[in-house]
A and B are shown apart, each in its own frame.
Chain A
Amino acid sequence: MIDVYNIYDKMDKNNILLSFKGDITSELLTSILQIMENKMDNMQEEPKTKKKVYNVLVECLQNLYHHMDDATDTNGDKNRSAIFMIAKNEGVYNILTGNYILNENIHGLKNRLDEVNACNKEQLKDYYKSVLNNGEMSLKGGGGLGMIDIARKTGEKLGYNFLEIDNKVSFFTLIIKVTQPQLI
């Protein structure tokens, strides 16, 4: 039996505003963005906060969308699934995403995240501009700007974790904090 109350209780205690697990489609993203916009309107968030959260959500969710297939070859459809959660604790939004990644790709991703985290505000601006101007656009569209943009807009370090599932895949978790601008 699934312990529904247990899941409810965990979500309640962590102040989860919205959570989803499954295949990430374009239509789903449209709906989720709309739901979050309405929620933030209802909570009467400052326009500034709303914009930041919305921007970061778009990048996080589209990251998931573009990387849905990355780990499916080895393990069939089982890995074509992701999770994301949006929580709000004491005025701070937390956006958490989780998806499978091939172990061989961890090194490259970790390096990129560390590189972004090592930058200060000015360095992020220069990094963004150089990738924007010189970087090759990947077919999936991202082109490596997403993480830099998230770090720039939030002014926070990107939290992450890799959990090894087996010798082929790991579960990658990204944790993004969005602090309300007036509290900075």
Chain B
Amino acid sequence: MEKYAIEGTPKTPTISFDIQNGVLEIKGRSIPENSIEFYKPLVDALDKYSTATKPTTTVNIQLEYFNTSSSKCILDVFKKLEGIHKSGSAVTINWHYEEDDEDMLEAGEDYQAIINIPFKMVQVAE
């Protein structure tokens, strides 16, 4: 498995995990009613990746909206990444937020406070 990809829908984000280069991207909206079901394959893919990591792992999160049930699943994803970071692959999380979207910036800062991985807050134009 070199790549793991999911097309976005109005309620779920586009996910691409380029295992070859250690780059994970989550983009779009994450507002499914059942988030656990949606995120389970990604958590499993990260579990697999953690057994053979690249020297660096780059994570790009660019969400327009996410609901509170996704927020727990995103934390689970970050916790997996925290494990990967501890075991030797240098993980960076680039948390994108639209200019003026203070709620999204704050959401990133909440994760930053909980998770022991370097976070970069990246502002993007609306």
Contacts and interface: CB of A to CB of B under 8 A. Distances in A.
Interface residues of A, number: 30
B36 A132 contact: no
Interface stretch (B40-48, B67-75, B81-89, B116-124): B67-75
Interface stretch (A84-92, A100-108, A138-146, A163-171): A138-146
The range of chain B's interface size is 20 to 34
Interface in B87-120: 98, 100-101, 103, 106, 110, 113-114
A26 B98 CA distance: 28
Interface of A: 26, 29-30, 33-34, 47-48, 51-52, 54-55, 58-59, 62, 65-66, 125, 128-129, 132-133, 135, 137, 141-143, 145-146, 149, 153
B103 A52 contact: yes
Given A29-B33, A125-B110, A145 B126 contact: no
A62 B67 contact: yes
B33 A66 contact: yes
B34 A141 contact: yes
B11 interface: yes
Nearest to B37: A141
A144 to B, nearest CB: 9
18 contacts: A29-B33, A33-B10, A51-B101, A58-B31, A58-B67, A59-B68, A62-B33, A129-B113, A129-B114, A132-B71, A132-B114, A133-B114, A137-B36, A141-B34, A142-B69, A143-B69, A143-B72, A149-B71
